[in-house]
Amino acid sequence: MDPRGEVAREAARLLYTRAFEEYKHAKEQAARSIGGGSMPSNYEVALELDNLADQIEGEERKKRLLRMREHSLALMKALKDFSPVLRGSVWRGTARKGSDIDIDVYSDTPEKVEARLNSAGFEIEGSEEFVAGRKNQLRRSRHVYIRLGDAGCQAEVVIRSSGERGATERCEIYGDEKRGLNLGELEKLMKTDPLRKFVPKRRYK
Protein backbone atom coordinates (compact mmCIF):
# COMPACT_ATOMS: atom_id res chain seq x y z
CA MET A 1 0.00 0.00 0.00
CA ASP A 2 1.23 3.49 -0.88
CA PRO A 3 -0.45 6.06 1.42
CA ARG A 4 1.16 8.99 -0.38
CA GLY A 5 -0.14 7.72 -3.72
CA GLU A 6 -3.58 7.12 -2.22
CA VAL A 7 -3.73 10.70 -1.02
CA ALA A 8 -2.66 11.94 -4.48
CA ARG A 9 -5.35 9.86 -6.20
CA GLU A 10 -8.07 10.98 -3.78
CA ALA A 11 -7.02 14.63 -4.15
CA ALA A 12 -7.18 14.20 -7.93
CA ARG A 13 -10.70 12.79 -7.64
CA LEU A 14 -11.80 15.75 -5.51
CA LEU A 15 -10.37 18.18 -8.06
CA TYR A 16 -11.90 16.35 -11.01
CA THR A 17 -15.37 16.35 -9.46
CA ARG A 18 -14.81 20.01 -8.52
CA ALA A 19 -15.44 19.33 -4.86
CA PHE A 20 -12.39 21.57 -4.42
CA GLU A 21 -10.77 24.14 -6.69
CA GLU A 22 -7.41 24.47 -4.95
CA TYR A 23 -4.78 21.73 -4.82
CA LYS A 24 -3.89 22.58 -1.21
CA HIS A 25 -7.44 22.11 0.06
CA ALA A 26 -7.98 18.95 -1.99
CA LYS A 27 -4.79 17.40 -0.60
CA GLU A 28 -5.71 18.29 2.98
CA GLN A 29 -9.16 16.74 2.63
CA ALA A 30 -7.73 13.67 0.90
CA ALA A 31 -5.21 13.17 3.72
CA ARG A 32 -8.01 13.35 6.28
CA SER A 33 -10.10 10.84 4.31
CA ILE A 34 -7.22 8.39 3.81
CA GLY A 35 -6.11 8.78 7.40
CA GLY A 36 -2.58 10.06 7.10
CA GLY A 37 0.34 9.42 4.85
CA SER A 38 2.90 11.93 3.63
CA MET A 39 1.51 14.83 1.63
CA PRO A 40 2.04 14.49 -2.14
CA SER A 41 3.30 17.38 -4.23
CA ASN A 42 1.02 19.31 -6.57
CA TYR A 43 2.94 17.69 -9.42
CA GLU A 44 2.03 14.18 -8.21
CA VAL A 45 -1.62 15.15 -7.88
CA ALA A 46 -1.59 16.73 -11.35
CA LEU A 47 -0.32 13.49 -12.90
CA GLU A 48 -3.07 11.51 -11.14
CA LEU A 49 -5.64 14.07 -12.28
CA ASP A 50 -4.47 13.74 -15.87
CA ASN A 51 -4.69 9.94 -15.68
CA LEU A 52 -8.16 10.09 -14.14
CA ALA A 53 -9.42 12.42 -16.87
CA ASP A 54 -8.07 10.01 -19.50
CA GLN A 55 -9.84 7.06 -17.87
CA ILE A 56 -13.18 8.83 -17.58
CA GLU A 57 -13.27 10.84 -20.81
CA GLY A 58 -11.39 8.53 -23.19
CA GLU A 59 -11.09 9.56 -26.84
CA GLU A 60 -13.54 12.43 -26.38
CA ARG A 61 -10.90 14.19 -24.33
CA LYS A 62 -8.52 14.29 -27.29
CA LYS A 63 -11.28 15.58 -29.57
CA ARG A 64 -12.13 18.29 -27.02
CA LEU A 65 -8.50 19.41 -26.77
CA LEU A 66 -8.24 19.62 -30.56
CA ARG A 67 -11.41 21.73 -30.77
CA MET A 68 -10.21 24.01 -27.98
CA ARG A 69 -6.84 24.53 -29.63
CA GLU A 70 -8.59 25.29 -32.93
CA HIS A 71 -10.74 27.92 -31.19
CA SER A 72 -7.64 29.27 -29.46
CA LEU A 73 -5.96 29.69 -32.82
CA ALA A 74 -8.96 31.59 -34.21
CA LEU A 75 -9.01 33.89 -31.20
CA MET A 76 -5.29 34.52 -31.33
CA LYS A 77 -5.42 35.33 -35.06
CA ALA A 78 -8.11 37.93 -34.33
CA LEU A 79 -5.91 39.36 -31.56
CA LYS A 80 -2.57 39.08 -33.35
CA ASP A 81 -1.82 42.79 -32.89
CA PHE A 82 -1.83 42.33 -29.10
CA SER A 83 0.87 39.60 -28.80
CA PRO A 84 -1.49 36.78 -27.71
CA VAL A 85 -0.13 33.84 -25.71
CA LEU A 86 -2.05 30.63 -25.02
CA ARG A 87 -1.79 29.59 -21.36
CA GLY A 88 -3.36 27.11 -18.95
CA SER A 89 -4.58 23.58 -19.56
CA VAL A 90 -5.19 24.06 -23.29
CA TRP A 91 -1.53 25.01 -23.71
CA ARG A 92 -0.41 22.17 -21.44
CA GLY A 93 -2.62 19.66 -23.27
CA THR A 94 -4.27 18.62 -19.99
CA ALA A 95 -7.67 20.22 -20.63
CA ARG A 96 -10.58 18.13 -19.40
CA LYS A 97 -14.34 18.44 -19.26
CA GLY A 98 -15.14 21.86 -17.80
CA SER A 99 -11.80 23.43 -18.72
CA ASP A 100 -11.64 26.89 -20.28
CA ILE A 101 -9.33 28.50 -22.83
CA ASP A 102 -6.88 31.00 -21.28
CA ILE A 103 -5.20 33.60 -23.47
CA ASP A 104 -3.07 36.55 -22.37
CA VAL A 105 -2.82 39.67 -24.52
CA TYR A 106 -0.92 42.92 -23.96
CA SER A 107 -2.35 46.38 -24.41
CA ASP A 108 -2.61 49.62 -22.46
CA THR A 109 -6.03 50.21 -24.03
CA PRO A 110 -8.31 47.27 -23.12
CA GLU A 111 -11.19 48.83 -25.06
CA LYS A 112 -9.28 48.21 -28.29
CA VAL A 113 -8.99 44.51 -27.49
CA GLU A 114 -12.71 44.22 -26.79
CA ALA A 115 -13.53 46.15 -29.95
CA ARG A 116 -11.37 43.76 -31.97
CA LEU A 117 -13.15 40.75 -30.46
CA ASN A 118 -16.52 42.27 -31.28
CA SER A 119 -15.55 43.09 -34.86
CA ALA A 120 -14.27 39.51 -35.30
CA GLY A 121 -17.69 38.19 -34.27
CA PHE A 122 -16.87 36.77 -30.84
CA GLU A 123 -19.61 36.86 -28.21
CA ILE A 124 -18.42 38.68 -25.09
CA GLU A 125 -20.36 37.59 -22.02
CA GLY A 126 -18.77 40.07 -19.64
CA SER A 127 -15.53 41.44 -18.24
CA GLU A 128 -14.05 42.44 -14.89
CA GLU A 129 -11.01 44.21 -13.52
CA PHE A 130 -8.43 42.62 -11.22
CA VAL A 131 -5.61 44.15 -9.20
CA ALA A 132 -2.74 42.00 -7.90
CA GLY A 133 0.66 42.51 -6.30
CA ARG A 134 1.99 44.66 -3.50
CA LYS A 135 1.20 48.30 -2.84
CA ASN A 136 4.09 49.72 -4.86
CA GLN A 137 3.94 47.06 -7.57
CA LEU A 138 0.27 46.72 -8.38
CA ARG A 139 -0.63 44.97 -11.61
CA ARG A 140 -3.98 45.62 -13.21
CA SER A 141 -5.64 43.38 -15.73
CA ARG A 142 -9.01 43.06 -17.39
CA HIS A 143 -10.51 39.61 -17.86
CA VAL A 144 -12.87 39.27 -20.82
CA TYR A 145 -15.14 36.21 -20.96
CA ILE A 146 -16.17 34.77 -24.32
CA ARG A 147 -18.74 32.02 -24.94
CA LEU A 148 -17.77 29.46 -27.56
CA GLY A 149 -21.01 27.63 -28.23
CA ASP A 150 -19.95 24.74 -30.45
CA ALA A 151 -16.88 24.08 -28.28
CA GLY A 152 -19.03 23.84 -25.15
CA CYS A 153 -16.58 25.99 -23.24
CA GLN A 154 -15.64 29.54 -22.35
CA ALA A 155 -12.54 31.51 -23.28
CA GLU A 156 -10.95 33.98 -20.89
CA VAL A 157 -8.85 36.69 -22.49
CA VAL A 158 -6.68 38.45 -19.92
CA ILE A 159 -5.61 41.92 -21.01
CA ARG A 160 -2.32 42.85 -19.34
CA SER A 161 -0.30 46.05 -19.64
CA SER A 162 2.23 46.24 -22.45
CA GLY A 163 5.01 46.47 -19.86
CA GLU A 164 4.30 42.88 -18.75
CA ARG A 165 5.00 41.44 -22.19
CA GLY A 166 7.78 38.89 -21.96
CA ALA A 167 7.55 38.51 -18.18
CA THR A 168 7.87 34.95 -16.89
CA GLU A 169 6.18 33.21 -13.99
CA ARG A 170 6.85 29.91 -12.23
CA CYS A 171 4.09 27.28 -12.22
CA GLU A 172 2.95 26.28 -8.73
CA ILE A 173 1.88 22.84 -9.97
CA TYR A 174 4.66 21.70 -12.30
CA GLY A 175 7.45 23.96 -11.08
CA ASP A 176 8.53 25.01 -14.56
CA GLU A 177 8.19 28.32 -16.37
CA LYS A 178 4.67 29.06 -17.63
CA ARG A 179 5.81 29.80 -21.17
CA GLY A 180 2.64 29.17 -23.13
CA LEU A 181 2.44 29.34 -26.92
CA ASN A 182 2.46 32.45 -29.09
CA LEU A 183 0.53 32.58 -32.36
CA GLY A 184 3.34 31.30 -34.55
CA GLU A 185 4.09 28.43 -32.19
CA LEU A 186 0.44 27.39 -32.01
CA GLU A 187 0.10 27.50 -35.79
CA LYS A 188 3.11 25.21 -36.14
CA LEU A 189 1.83 22.87 -33.43
CA MET A 190 -1.55 22.47 -35.13
CA LYS A 191 0.22 21.36 -38.32
CA THR A 192 2.71 18.99 -36.71
CA ASP A 193 1.49 17.61 -33.36
CA PRO A 194 -1.91 19.11 -32.33
CA LEU A 195 -2.35 16.84 -29.30
CA ARG A 196 1.10 17.36 -27.83
CA LYS A 197 1.35 17.85 -24.07
CA PHE A 198 3.65 20.38 -22.42
CA VAL A 199 4.13 18.66 -19.07
CA PRO A 200 7.63 18.17 -17.60
CA LYS A 201 8.71 14.58 -16.91
CA ARG A 202 9.61 15.61 -13.37
CA ARG A 203 8.78 18.50 -11.08
CA TYR A 204 11.26 21.33 -11.28
CA LYS A 205 12.70 22.44 -7.94
CATH topology of domain 61-192: Beta Polymerase; domain 2 (3.30.460)
List pLDDT tens digits, range 26-38: 999 999 998 877 8
Q: State how far the Cα of 159 lies from the Cα of 82, in Å rounded to an integer.
A: 9
> How does DSSP classify residue 125?
E
List pLDDT tens digits, range 67-80: 999 999 999 999 99
List pLDDT tens digits, range 16-68: 999 999 999 999 999 999 887 789 999 999 999 999 999 999 999 999 999 99
* Under 8 Å between Cβ of 61 and 52: no
1 confidence band (pLDDT: 50, 70, 90):
low
Mean pLDDT of the chain: 92
pLDDT reading at 204 higher than 70: no
Q: What pTM was computed for the model?
A: 0.91
Which spans in the chain are helix H? 3-16, 23-34, 42-57, 59-78, 88-92, 110-119, 183-192
58: CB partners within 8 A, 6+ apart? none
Alpha-carbon distances, residue 111 vs 59, 114, 130, 154 (angstroms): 39, 5, 15, 20
Half-sphere exposure of 7 (CA within 13 A, CB side): 23
List pLDDT tens digits, range 111-152: 999 999 999 999 999 999 988 776 667 788 999 999 987 657
Q: What is the pLDDT of residue 151?
A: 59
Of all residues in the chain, what percent carry a pLDDT higher than 90?
82
Domain ranges of the chain: 3-57, 61-192
Q: What is the pLDDT of residue 164?
A: 92
153 confidence band (pLDDT: 50, 70, 90):
confident
Lowest-confidence range among 6-10, 62-66, 105-109, 145-149?
145-149
201 confidence band (pLDDT: 50, 70, 90):
confident
